[in-house]
Structure 1
Amino acid sequence: MSSSPVIIVTGASRGIGASIVEQLMAAPEQPRVVGVSRSSAGLEALEKKYPERFTYVTGDVAKDSTSDAIISRALEKFGRIDGVICNAGVLEPIAPVAKASLEDWKKLYDINFFAPVSLSSKAIPELRKTHGRIVFVSSDASTIFFNGWAAYGSSKAAINHYAGSIAAEEKDIFAIAIAPGIVDTNMQNNIRDNFGEGMSSDEHKFFHELHNTGKLLPPQIPAAVVANLSLRGSGDINGKYLSYDAETLASYQLQK
């Protein structure tokens, strides 16, 4: 069986996740990829494009059984796990803390925090064997405070701490949390079109202006950093939370 690395990518059907898969497919290491998403259309297209190197699991990452299915699929199809990229996430609910719905917060945490905990913890026994890597897609919102974003931002802050905890506990595993910047994806469409009511008018205007002035990042820019870290992340950045454009990540960034 091939010794090329095997990387799991959640939220792989579109946006940053799909771009991460494309960056992995272009990497010289020739990695094999297990993609995960709730919808199958984008995953099917990737499998058709890369039939020998891509396989997928369709499922809700918030369910513990989906994590089991992902691990099983990786081992049955490719025989090993070298990296896990926890990219799937949601932004809702957007609402002031004074109007917090505990049920909505729990749904967000199930996807943004507990799903990565489930998948990464189940992958650790295999990652120990390969001295593997875990990359968590975090957010600038983990340290910057937008009105109405307390659920999302706090879940990403929890992910940052969790990445550091893995790095501290597992000496043979590299873990890192990466803020991808403000990326031109469907999440930005939702911020502009659907979430204004829960935000301040100035902050909502800010996101509109980023779009109108062409300042949103193309997905491949942060995707390259995440993909490269999953393949060869090492050194004193282990356990850190960093922005995709940090100077210490220069060797992982998309080369011009």
Structure 2
Amino acid sequence: MASKVFIVTGASRGLGLAVAEKLLQTSHKVFLVARTEKDLQAVKTKHPSSVDFLTADLSDVKVTPSIISSTLKSFGRIDGIVVNHGVLTPITKIFESSVEEWKHAYDINFFSALALIKEAIPELRKSQGRVVFISSGAAFGAYAGWGSYGTSKAALTHLCTHLAVEEPSITTVAISPGKMDTEMQREIRDNGKAGMAPEVHASFVEEHTSGRLVNPKDSGNVIAKLVIGATSDLNGKHFRWNTAELANFQGQ
């Protein structure tokens, strides 16, 4: 299989890093985007000819053209994008939150993704590429205190369906990666109690204690395979990472 070029956001740790590592294991080139330079540099040091990166705060949409131009300068093309970055905060009930906090969450979770995809469309048309949006079960249900996160993930998931309708040459999928053993889950356990229903918060703590959280490498493996080769019948749809419908993309 010929080497392809992928952009992965939120790539310095957790799910984004797991996706990037899987892509690199299968001999592809990856352009990483995150806020922590030393973590991105560590990946590039291990894979100097296959990795480049840009340290950026994606909530500032003015950085978006630089991501696309830098990827093209480094590798000459773009075959796919994994939109993985996002924030859970504020974990606050609607009445106790501020509109400005919600706007900031949307800038990160939604508008930055919109800006990145809009800028990348010409290159993705050329490559008949793929986009994988990282969604969440919170896009389809509701937890007290999770309003900004859940609604912004719902908007992101619906963006997937619109992109599929408008750009049929680009295969677009939204994936819920499960409750993973990542920094976001630690944030829920450490900081979520005040804004969440007590029994719901306790369930998140218990899932961690009992070892039932998903390893990011497991869902990251599926996401990497999808951005490489998602088929047109998946276009515009949302799936849980471990659904039977994605059986062809599961396993090592």
Shift of 1:209: 0.3
Shift of 1:31: 1.2
- Residue by residue, what CA displacement relative to the aligned partner does 1:65-100 show, whole Å, maximum 9, x if unpaired? 221111011100100000011000000011112223
Residue 239 of structure 2 is matched in structure 1 by 242
CA distance in 2, matches of 1:106, 1:225: 31
For the pair 1:55 / 2:52, whether they are aligned, the reply is yes
Backbone CA RMSD of aligned residues: 0.9
Letter in structure 2 aligned against 1:103: E
Runs of at least 4 residues of structure 1 off by over 6 A? none
Residue 34 of structure 1 is matched in structure 2 by 31
**Equivalences for residues 69-84 of structure 1 within 5 A:** 69-84=66-81
Matching residue within 202, 206, 210 for 2:203: 206
CA distance in 1, matches of 2:234, 2:131: 13
**Equivalences for residues 1-256 of structure 1 within 5 A:** 4-27=3-26, 30-255=27-252
Classify the secondary structure of the residue corresponding to 2:108.
helix
CA distance in 1, matches of 2:3, 2:71: 13
- The more displaced of 125-134 and 18-27 is 18-27
CA distance in 2, matches of 1:239, 1:171: 9
Shift of 1:235: 2.7
Shift of 1:221: 0.8
Letter in structure 2 aligned against 1:75: L
Letter in structure 2 aligned against 1:182: K
Any gaps of 5 or more consecutive residues in structure 2? Answer: none
CA distance in 1, matches of 2:248, 2:112: 29
Paired residues in the alignment total: 251
Shift of 1:254: 3.0
CA distance in 2, matches of 1:252, 1:110: 31
CA distance in 2, matches of 1:156, 1:148: 14
CA distance in 2, matches of 1:139, 1:182: 9
Classify the secondary structure of the residue corresponding to 1:196.
coil
Question: What is the TM-score with the length of structure 1 in the denominator?
Answer: 0.96
Classify the secondary structure of the residue corresponding to 2:205.
helix
- Residue by residue, what CA displacement relative to the aligned partner does 1:130-186 show, whole Å, maximum 9, x if unpaired? 000010001011012111111100011111110010001102100111000000001
Aligned-residue sequence identity (percent) comes to 43
Classify the secondary structure of the residue corresponding to 2:158.
helix
Classify the secondary structure of the residue corresponding to 2:89.
coil
Any gaps of 5 or more consecutive residues in structure 1? Answer: none
CA distance in 2, matches of 1:117, 1:253: 28
Letter in structure 2 aligned against 1:211: H
